[in-house]
Structure 1
Amino acid sequence: MAKPLLTLDGGTTCSSWNYCGERLAAGSVDGTLSIFDFRDPASSSYLRSTFKSKIHEGNIVKVVWLPPEYGDAVACIFADGIMSLWEEVAKDSQPFQWNMCKSFGSSSMKVLDVQFGISLTILKMVTAYSDGYVRVYELLDPLELKSWQLQAEFQNVIDSVSTSGKASCLSASVSWNMQKGGSQESSFIVGYNSNTSELNSSKVWEFDQAHQRWLPVAEMVLPEDKGDQVYAVAWAPNIGRPNETIAVATSKGLAIWNLGLNPDHDGRLPVERIALLPGHEGEVWQMEWDTSGMTLATVGHDGMVRLWQSNLNGAWHQQAAFKPTS
């Protein structure tokens, strides 16, 4: 029988494990950030609370851990569009404390999603904003998480577009290709839920070193579905497949895409939708792949957690579904 490791407080809106699976960060509707640790990681017996504090006047809607090479730090996105970075540090022989080191966003330019990746040994932060722009930041000093510099900003479009009125985006989703990085330029996918159809479809962006700019190299959408709002995207880890696998959730359902690795003469990568699953009854809120890239977990408006896998013939299906108990 499954044994619960922790029961989170009522009002918890989001949670996230760190890269090692030894620490859990949780955000609450009242702006409280909580950090939990395994007392003995080797036995994984239970989690204990090591930090709990109200860090903002408002709902925390997402918590994201930074890569472990940069210490223990999290990014918190709040319902009002502000994002802040929090780092666990020790000062003057005092116990470790969590301190805010940087904030982004405003009431007119809200942060909707954020992801971190390492490219050419530099930590990069991709942020999707409510004005429809993607902004990529670089960390100038690996020992100072407040030393960020804007590296690029662009709209999530294939070609330049002029729209009447300002883009209004309700949500966005970003996912890094974690197989690249280190000594390589990374790539990521981003999709929007907005009033501007050109922004919505999920697009893969890759940095062109020769021209020093980010370029769209693939678009995960069928011609008849262009403009559909995107709720979530998730790039699967690759342990040897000849192509990349990406999940995209829209109002049409949960789509599984194959992304080829060999670009055509225009620099675009081939894409193929290999499955369209019924998904949840309503929006998909979050998607996560396991470390093998073989199983996809999704949670949505219907309150269900669903696991998806492909069989030996490559056909995708729902492997299990869970409804959290109170």
Structure 2
Amino acid sequence: MGAVEHPDMVGGFADFDAGHRDLVTVTKFNFYGNRIVTASSDHRMKVWDLKDGQWQLTDTWRAHDAEIRDATWNGPFTGQHIGSVGEDMKLKIWQEDVTQPPNSGRRFRSIFRMTAPQRHPFVSMDFRNIDLESWMAAITRDGYLMVMEPVSPDSLADWQPVDQFRVCTAPERGEETSFKVQFHHDPADITHSLVPDSDPKSLSLVVAAMDTVKVYRTDASRRFYHAIELNGHASLVRDISWANGSVRGYDLIASAGKDGLVRIFEVYTASTNQGSQSSNSRKTERRQQQQQSPSTRATSQSGIGNALANRPTSSVSNRQATGDSLFRHSFKQVACIDSKHIDVWQVEFSFAGDSLISSGDDGAVRFWKRSLAGEWLEYAETDLVSQ
């Protein structure tokens, strides 16, 4: 492993050897930036803690029986949990057990596991937290997306489907594929500023689906609809990032392409007439739900999950906005950056959304910053190959 920049460091890097036996496939900070999880093709995961300015290994364990494709932290208000997906067809959630000594191989234990449907492994996953509630999204190598929620809000050991569907036509056998999924994590979603009475627990997803990017949002019935497609890519989309900062009046989404280009899109959202017309009915419905007893809500939630799990797989063709959609969406590509990478594999916005980091096949990590004139300019670079 090469240079890692801590979120609080300005122009500084901390170097450490992750000690994996094969390619490092995942490096993810937790919410506070003081923990890192690394995962590798060697089937193992490691957790590192920042102590006295140094990254110290907390534990290493064999997490999957094949290459690990993605891993990410849940949190920060539900305890220390990590989700992971691998080529062994498994999705797992790991919970830290602080009673176990560091570097014992038992510090993180599996509390949930599921097998990918239709014999295509999960390749990307993400968590979303609103207050103390969690949601999880995972997508397979052939574009099958699942969004899940815990059966009980007090535990992440049992999950049920909220929605599941294909984001595109299944690729041909042997065709190179590329799929990624990410929730919108900003607590101030732009839809809430436009229609204050809209569902405060509405969810938004951005998906890299082969050679395009798609945005999905939940409607009034908590069903995902295809809000907009950010097209114009000339090759497979390797990665996507949705910036925080909806107060700017639009959403900012970046994509990383196999063609070496990083594209940045501004996504605009406006309310429709239906938004004001259905406001009172939505408030009445939510008030009725809040008046239900906890046991009634849990039974209803579980019933919905079971129904969704058993219904036929839906496709993107019938995922358009329903008649009571509150919003309409449009977009503009505002930048197309030649990243100088041979193939861009990762792209990520800073917390404020004014900087961007990219990495690719050339072994370099590059940092881009938005100027006052609105241009995205390279301002730093580090070569991981020489580290």
TM-score normalized by structure 1?
A: 0.84
Pair 1:38-2:46 in alignment: no
Q: Deviations over 1:3-44 (max 9, x none)?
A: 6353221533322111111111111222121111123xxxx4
Task: Pick one of 184, 188, 207 that aligns with 1:177.
Answer: 184
Structure 1 unaligned blocks of 5 or more: 194-199
Contact 2:346/2:360 (8 A) holds in 1:
yes
Contact 1:130/1:169 (8 A) holds in 2:
no
Structure 2 unaligned blocks of 5 or more: 1-10, 190-198, 274-320, 322-326
More helix per residue: 1 or 2?
Answer: 2
How do residues 150-299 of structure 1 correspond to structure 2 at under 5 angstroms? 150-157=161-168, 170-180=177-187, 183-193=200-210, 200-209=211-220, 211-222=221-232, 225=233, 228-238=235-245, 240-252=247-259, 253-263=261-271, 267-299=327-359
Q: Deviations over 1:123-165 (max 9, x none)?
A: 11111112322111011223322210011111225xxx6x796
Of structures 1 and 2, the larger Rg is shown by 2
Show the counterpart of 2:374: 314
Cα 1:73/1:218, change in 2 over 3 Å: same
Q: Percent identity?
A: 21
More strand per residue: 1 or 2?
Answer: 1
Q: Deviations over 1:71-116 (max 9, x none)?
A: 11111222344221111125xx665831011223348121010011
User: What is the Cα deviation at residue 321 of structure 1?
Assistant: 1.7
Q: Which amino acid aligns with 2:143?
A: G
Contact 2:69/2:123 (8 A) holds in 1:
no
Q: Which amino acid aligns with 1:229?
A: L
Contact 2:64/2:90 (8 A) holds in 1:
no
Q: Which amino acid aligns with 1:215?
A: Y
Q: Identify the range of structure 1 (255-264 vs 228-237) with the bigger mean alpha-carbon deviation.
A: 255-264
Distance 1:130 1:28 in 2: 18
Q: Secondary structure at the match of 2:16?
A: coil
Task: Pick one of 47, 54, 58 that aligns with 2:55.
Answer: 47
Task: Pick one of 97, 118, 121 that aligns with 1:89.
Answer: 97
Contact 2:367/2:378 (8 A) holds in 1:
yes
Q: Identify the range of structure 1 (148-157 vs 168-177) with the bigger mean alpha-carbon deviation.
A: 168-177
Distance 1:122 1:114 in 2: 17
Cα 1:94/1:309, change in 2 over 3 Å: closer
How do residues 101-180 of structure 1 correspond to structure 2 at under 5 angstroms? 101-106=111-116, 108-119=119-130, 122-157=133-168, 170-180=177-187
How many residue pairs were aligned?
A: 306
User: What is the Cα deviation at residue 207 of structure 1?
Assistant: 0.3
Contact 2:213/2:229 (8 A) holds in 1:
yes
Distance 1:61 1:207 in 2: 27
Q: Secondary structure at the match of 1:245?
A: strand
Q: Which amino acid aligns with 2:47?
A: I
TM-score normalized by structure 2?
A: 0.72
Task: Pick one of 3, 26, 38 that aligns with 1:26.
Answer: 38
Higher relative contact order (CA 8 A, sep 6+): 2
Contact 1:131/1:166 (8 A) holds in 2:
no
Q: Secondary structure at the match of 1:189?
A: strand
User: What is the Cα deviation at residue 309 of structure 1?
Assistant: 1.6
The two structures, once aligned, show a CA RMSD in angstroms of 2.7
Q: Identify the range of structure 1 (274-283 vs 14-23) with the bigger mean alpha-carbon deviation.
A: 274-283
Contact 1:138/1:148 (8 A) holds in 2:
yes
